[in-house]
Structure 1
């Protein structure tokens, strides 16, 4: 059995993160010691690591909750899991498109200040002061 600090350390996260996932219902309620300390087992660690891997892939808590529900019921068809990930891929592609546009805008902004010597002449500051 692990206390919350050890669980967090093994999952490479903060204690507050463990508490947050508990409060969101992603982590199951742990047992308690006689001193009322939370006691976690290997199941909690595996679940927490799963959650952390999902978050590293920028999945929302709702998406993670759905994936956990399928993980908890392995007899279910995984078609909905595929659909969830397909939807997430579409969201990632949209973010990439937005980031490419942001990169282009920042590059244009940077080019606007290649010759300035003072902040008064700075094309970046002028560009940021103007409405889009």
Structure 2
């Protein structure tokens, strides 16, 4: 099948198929006499596997590990389970970080009058030096706060 057919069969765009080939997630496709790529049914299965793993948020390197396990018929399911559990822990950490960002933004929104006045605590906070601004991302807690930060966040 050509790249368009492989794309349709797998749900992966032709551009991404080329990219996955370039980075080694997909082996280089065979070439027809015309020079066009020729994909097999197995290639389409591999691409579908990659797409589903991406849909679950696995990184390219994690997908490489999953593909290695998928191709290894002597694998232990415990290895796959550990990889999936580690991924869940990463997802939960990202969710926690996003929730904290949303909470910070919500506090800033509640401080903004949202009327015709030009002054806005949201914009004022965005321009603050890093040490004075509320954390946009929490990577370990830093309880050091300035009076301005406390004032904005405690309202």
TM over 0.5, shorter chain: yes
Matching residue of 1:55: 54
Determine the structure 1 residue equivalent to 2:93.
Answer: 94
Q: Deviations over 1:64-106 (max 9, x none)?
A: 1111111111222121111111111111111011001001011
Verify the 8 A CA contact 1:31 1:38 in the aligned structure 2.
yes
In structure 2, the CA distance between the partners of 1:87 and 1:71, relative to structure 1 (3 Å rule), is same
Give the Cα separation in 1 of the matches to 2:31 and 2:114: 66
Give the conservation status (yes or no) of the 8 Å contact 1:32–1:39.
yes
| TM-score when normalising by structure 1 | 0.89
Match in the other structure for 2:75: 76
Match of 1:125 among 101, 123, 126: 123
1:38 and 2:24 aligned: no
CA distance, structure 2, for counterparts of residue 129 and residue 74 of structure 1:
55
Match of 2:26 in 1: 27
In the aligned structure 2, how far is the partner of 1:53 from the partner of 1:91?
A: 18
Displacement of 1:115 after TM fit? 4.7
The two structures, once aligned, show a CA RMSD in angstroms of 1.5
Q: Is the contact made by 1:116 and 1:123 (CA closer than 8 Å) also made in structure 2?
A: no
**What TM-score does the superposition give when structure 2 sets the normalisation length?**
0.77
The offset of 1:12, in angstroms, is 2.9
Divergent runs of 4+, >3 A: none
Asked if structure 1 preserves the Cα contact closer than 8 Å seen for 2:12 and 2:48, the reply is no
How many residues are matched? Answer: 130
Over alpha carbons, which structure has the higher Rg? 2
